[in-house]
Every structure is written in C-alpha cells, then in structure tokens.
Amino acid sequence: MENGKNARVIAFLQGYTGKSALLLLDRLKKKHNIGDLDSVGKMESMNFADSLISEILAPLLSKGRLQMARSQLLGIMELSESAEGMPDSIDGVRVLPENIKDEESKHYESISGFIIKQEMQKYGLKTLREADSQTRIRIIEAFVEGLFGPTGRSIVEAKIGELSLKDLTRAPAYNRILLIEYILQSMLAFYVGPSKARMLRSELASIMDVDVSIIQGPNPQMEEVMRRVEAYKEKVRVTSNPAIRQDFEDLSEYYGKQAASELLLSPASEVNASMRNQVLTRVLSRLLGGMTEHAFSYILTQDETVKSKFMLRYLKNYLLNLMSEEDADAVVLRVKGGSAVA
C-alpha cells in the first residue's frame, strides 16, 4: 500500500492523467532510480518534480495551468521553491518576468563562453588543451567570479583546496566532477533550477578536463557525486561558517561604500528609497556577480518598497545555498544597513 508522498503524488497525477498515473509515476521513479519518494533528499526530489512537470504534464496543460500544477506539486512533495532559487514576486507583485529562468540560462551560456575565450586570450591559448594545471585553475576562478561574484570565487578557491585540486592533471576525475557539480548545484541552480543547471556542464567540463560523456546520463559515479553534493548543501544550511559569513559581510560593506561614493552620497545626504535601492542594486550585483546583474536588469516594478524587499529576499534565498539561515540573516542585516548609507 502506497503512503506518504508517494500516495499524494499519485492522487495529484491522477487528476491530470487518470488511470495511467501509477504507470507514468513508476516509469519516472525508475528513470531517476527512486524507490520511495519519502526516502530521497531535497535535490533529488526537486529534480524529480521538475521531470514530472516537464515530461508528463507540460504536453497536457497550458502554461498558466502548468505553473499552478507545479506549485501544487511542490507543496505535496514538501519542497520550498523560494529556498531553492530566485523569487519572482513579492507581496503578490511580480518583480521578475515569467521567463526569467530561460533568460538566465541563455545569459549563462553566452557569458560563460565569452569568459573562457577572454581568459584563453589572456594566457595566449588557442585551445584549452594547451592549458596547464595552474592556468586551468585560474580560468575556473575567473569563470566563477565573472558569473557568481568575488564571494563565489572565494568559496570555490576553498573547495579546490578541500578537494586537493591544485594539480588538475593528477587529481582524480571524481574530485573534478565534484567541483563541477558543486558550482552548478550550489550557485547556478539558484538562477536556472537544478535540472537545467545539470545540463549546462560543457564549459566547466572543458576547463576541468573531464570527458562530458562521464557526466551525462545516470551512472553510479554521478549518483554518488550528487548525493555528496546534496549532503554538503544540507550540512551548510545548519552549520555556521564564520569565514564565509565574514567574507560576504566585509565585501558588502566595501561595495556599499563604493556605490555610495559613485552616487555622491554621504552620511549627511538626504537619502530616499530610490537612492537606497540604487546602492542595494550595485552592492548585490557586484557581490554576487554577472548572473545577478543580468537578473536585476529585468526588474519590472517601479515600487521602491517592493523592490527593496525583493532584493533582500533574493539575497537571503541565494545565501541559503551557501550558509546556515542564522548566518544568512546576519549577512542580509549587514547589507540592509549598508544600503541605507548610515
């Protein structure tokens, strides 16, 4: 007898596919190597939910009904979308367009290729095959900083040391794949969703000198990598990391002062909501990198109160992939105070 999430998902699916719901669900669970939905982790559950929506329901439903179905499914599976990626609305007001994840995906594909070409020119390389281990490391760091900001670079530098990747040419392929998936699932998945992030691996695989065929499709090695990445993400959500928190706080304060100076603001200035949000926009764009700067270029609302609340929620969601909620709240509070030009 089915119970828990399995029973709820079957009942949900029957509303759209009728008697074929159980067969369709069993096939999808087999594809994802899932036996019991109650026993899998959050990332695997998110990937499964994305597949159910895109592969089973998308051909059946209109775009509007599909969005409602997805929200319902996430609730049934006890998944919080807001803690996984970009918020698109605040207080019932849409702030980012419906297609923002598609736009971010396109931006990632275009800018990631550009960063690699730029770095190759910098080191006089015609192909990545010519790059030695240290040059590849520097390209990875530049790649991450361009897309995910200086904080992302610091985190990845620490992961490179943790995984003993200072010499890429001799490092085990497993460790290189771990770093790729860490970047994709802890940083890129915020912008495009976990499933799409896993599809956008080619540039990182090239830099890390990993055969793309190894990381495409299910295999025991990749399943173990994903379990390890998910376990790490769950750990950081409940474990304080003073070094990462301090890095975010220090950089946010620095960028706050820089933005205020650029806007000719000082503690004595009369600062309205629009000016505060200009500072906040610049701080977050510089702190989090090109993906965030691109997302903010799509902000729809002119309501400064909504805009401010949205950006702080956006920052909190991003930080929850990298640190505990306590640390995330502390960073958000520091950023909020700095953007007020106190």
Digit-coded pLDDT (tens) for 283-340: 999 999 999 999 999 999 999 999 999 999 999 999 988 888 899 999 999 998 865 5
Torsion angle in degrees (nearest 10) through CA of 258, 260, 262, 268: -130
Residues 215 and 254 in one domain: no
The region of weakest confidence among 48-52, 109-113, 155-159 is 48-52
> Could you say which of 220, 236, 252 is where a domain stops?
236
Say which DSSP state 184 is in: I
DSSP 251-279: HHHHHHHHHHHHTT--TTS---HHHHHHH
pLDDT of residue 40: 78
CB neighbour list of residue 97: distance below 8 Å, 6 or more residues apart? 88, 103, 298, 300
> Could you say which of 187, 206, 236 is where a domain stops?
236
Cβ pair 323, 236 in contact under 8 A: yes
Q: How far is CA 90 from CA 95, 237, 276, 300, 311, in A?
A: 7, 23, 18, 12, 10
Residues 123 and 229 in one domain: yes
Residues 167 and 288 in one domain: no
Cβ pair 190, 317 in contact under 8 A: yes
Does 161 map to a domain? yes
- Domains in the chain, number: 3
Answer whether residue 83 shows pLDDT above 60: no
Global pTM?
A: 0.76
pLDDT of residue 72: 86
Answer whether residue 252 shows pLDDT above 90: yes
Does 85 map to a domain? no
pLDDT of residue 339: 59
d(CA 153, CA 304): 31
Does 138 map to a domain? yes
Answer whether residue 176 shows pLDDT above 50: yes
Write out pLDDT tens, residues 1-11. 345 888 999 99
Q: What is the mean pLDDT of residues 255-280?
A: 87
Arithmetic mean of pLDDT over the chain: 87
Residues 104 and 231 in one domain: yes
d(CA 299, CA 142): 27
> Could you say which of 190, 206, 236 is where a domain stops?
236
The region of weakest confidence among 130-139, 275-284, 331-340 is 331-340
Residues 219 and 109 in one domain: yes
d(CA 196, CA 47): 9
pLDDT of residue 63: 72
Q: Which pair of tokens denotes residue 123?
A: 């080191």
Residues 255 and 167 in one domain: no
d(CA 199, CA 31): 16
Answer whether residue 74 shows pLDDT above 70: yes
Residues 226 and 157 in one domain: yes
Q: Which of 262, 285, 263, 260 lies closest to 337 in space, CA to CA?
A: 260
Residues 212 and 326 in one domain: no
Residues 186 and 224 in one domain: yes
Does 148 map to a domain? yes
d(CA 183, CA 311): 22
Residue 59, domain extent: 4-79
The region of weakest confidence among 81-85, 140-144, 151-155, 275-279 is 81-85
Residues 9 and 118 in one domain: no
pLDDT of residue 341: 45
Q: What is the mean pLDDT of residues 233-244?
A: 84
Does 279 map to a domain? yes
Cβ pair 313, 90 in contact under 8 A: yes
Q: Which of 82, 94, 243, 67 lies closest to 157 in space, CA to CA?
A: 243
pLDDT of residue 89: 85
Residues 199 and 255 in one domain: no
Strand partners, 90: 93
Answer whether residue 112 shows pLDDT above 70: yes
d(CA 66, CA 56): 11
Confidence of residue 342 (pLDDT cuts 50, 70, 90): very low
Confidence of residue 82 (pLDDT cuts 50, 70, 90): very low
Does 332 map to a domain? yes
CB atoms within 10 A of CB 331: 25
Helix (H) or strand (E) holding 94: strand 93-94
Does 84 map to a domain? no
Q: Which of 254, 270, 251 lies closest to 262 in space, CA to CA?
A: 254
> For the CA atoms of the chain, what is the radius of gyration?
21
The region of weakest confidence among 40-44, 81-85, 305-309 is 81-85
Does 91 map to a domain? no
Q: What is the mean pLDDT of residues 136-145?
A: 95
Q: How far apart are the first and last CA of the chain?
A: 61
Collapsing DSSP states into helix, strand and coil, what is residue 126? coil
Residues 284 and 227 in one domain: no
